[in-house]
Amino acid sequence: MKIAVIGTGYVGSVTGACFAEMGNTVICVDKDPNKIAQFESGRAPLHEKGLDELVLRSLKNKTLSFTTDFEDALKKSDIIFIAVGTPPNEDGSADLSHVLGVASDLGRFMDHEIIVVDKSTVPVGTAQQVSDKIAEQLKSRGVDIPFHVVSNPEFLAQGTAVKDFLEPSRIVVGSDNRKAVETMRELYAPFTRREGRFFSMDAKTAEIVKYASNCFLAVKISASNELANICSKAGADYENVRKAMGADPRIGEAFLYASAGFGGSCFPKDVKALVKTAGDFGYDALMLKQTLDTNEKQKLVLVRMVAEKFGNDLSGKTFGVWGLAFKAGTDDMRESPAITIINALIEQGASIRAHDPEAMKMARTSEYFGDNPSITYYEDKYEALTDADAMLVITEWKEFRTPDFDRIRKALKQPVIFDGRLLYEPKKMSGLGLEYHSIGR
């Protein structure tokens, strides 16, 4: 099939590369010529496991190309995926300006029948807005060209997005047009060889599926963190509580791990958006609001632990931080707990020695820490601990799971570890001469 993907962020680039891998002819479109040039060189301008290999292979096979020429890509394609950003507005609603801008351009330039697919995460009613915007432009041109708008939410986790796309847990397609649904079924057939993974429904229902999924997982994370905090107060071990709870098939073990809170481009944004959508329909989503509140408080749990050990005035103190990305497997720092934790420590007078396998370049941008003189970055994780008063683990990178604890103890000024991901065993840490503080234990 002939496909155009508008937007080359995490979702757009993975979508385009994976469809091209299956032999479709895919054109990825972006306004940023620098991003296009980097993709054309075979290296994605973002860190996502397996993406570079797919891009290189598909470029070689001539099934994938990149361009800034929207109109040319549209003329050569029959299925158009909209995969542009939908950042949150101040009131929590999704900013649809980019999505509707693409829809308007489609109406201005389309010259043949197309299927328009909303791949961006969008609120209920967006498919209709996209349809109206396209129809408006066609009317102003005085032409009548058939088109069909489909809602097809993505369920990709950063760090495993390529695997998630190639081996999907489900494909959700929202449309009342039978031809469009069957085209989408055929497009996704190589990914859904097993039965029961393709779900067809109306567009509004499909639009809410993505929000419902992410909100439910966010609620589960916040509930787990709340239970872990209770365990801390009661003197119980949340790790054992988690394991016993997870054995119940009604609960399951996924997303029960205690942490310093969730972040990223999806969970915080999507919970806020569903709260706003609920309010627009006259419903007060109290539990979802509480989930957001609990998560913001959770980001400060490690800071409170540090204050209990060193006091509120951290002037002259230095902390070695392992992990800046919001999760392992990505360089994305959007809403990362590390931002809240590091800023809070600096506000109390501390200096930071930071290491992350992928996110340090991102951290140095003006969007995050910029050239903050209180933060120094190190390529070597042990060097980041040299003469630090304590070590903080914020991101669960695999390379942090079994480090050389002897090197850690010798590097630190004081052998103190604050673990925001429960990577280590308290008894082992004590036996190694390390003072160990973790969430829920």
Residues with active-site annotation = 266
Q: Cβ distance 56 to 94 under 8 Å?
A: no
Q: Residues with Cβ < 8 Å from 133, sequence gap 6 or more?
A: 100, 103, 104, 107
Contact residues for 217 (Cβ-Cβ < 8 A; gap 6+): 255, 267
Q: How far is 267 from 359, CA to CA, in rounded Å?
A: 19
Q: What is the DSSP string of 385-402?
A: GTT-SEEEE-S--GGGTS
Q: List, in order, residues 6 or more apart from 330 with CB less than 8 Å away.
A: 47, 48, 158, 159, 358, 359
Pairwise CA distance, residues 84 & 365, whole Å? 22
Asked whether 322 and 395 are in contact (CB, 8 A), the reply is yes
Q: Helix, strand, or coil here: 436? A: strand
Distance separating alpha carbons of residues 370 and 353, to the nearest angstrom: 15
Q: How far apart are CA 191 and CA 194, in angstroms?
A: 8
Distance CA 170, CA 198 (A): 6
C-alpha dihedral (251, 255, 261, 264), degrees to nearest 10: -130
Number of Cβ atoms within 10 Å of the Cβ of 165 = 21
Q: Give the span between the Cα atoms of 386 and 354, in whole angstroms.
A: 11
For residue 248, count CB atoms less than 10 angstroms from its CB and return exposed for 0-12, middle for 13-18, buried for 19 or more. Answer: exposed
152 closest CA partner among 205, 227, 215? 205
Residues 6+ apart with CB under 8 A from 100: 129, 130, 133
Q: Helices 203-234 and 286-298: crossing angle, nearest 10°? A: 50
Which residues are CB-neighbours of 344 under 8 A, at least 6 positions away?
A: 300, 303
Q: Dihedrals φ, ψ of 80, to 5°?
A: -115, 115
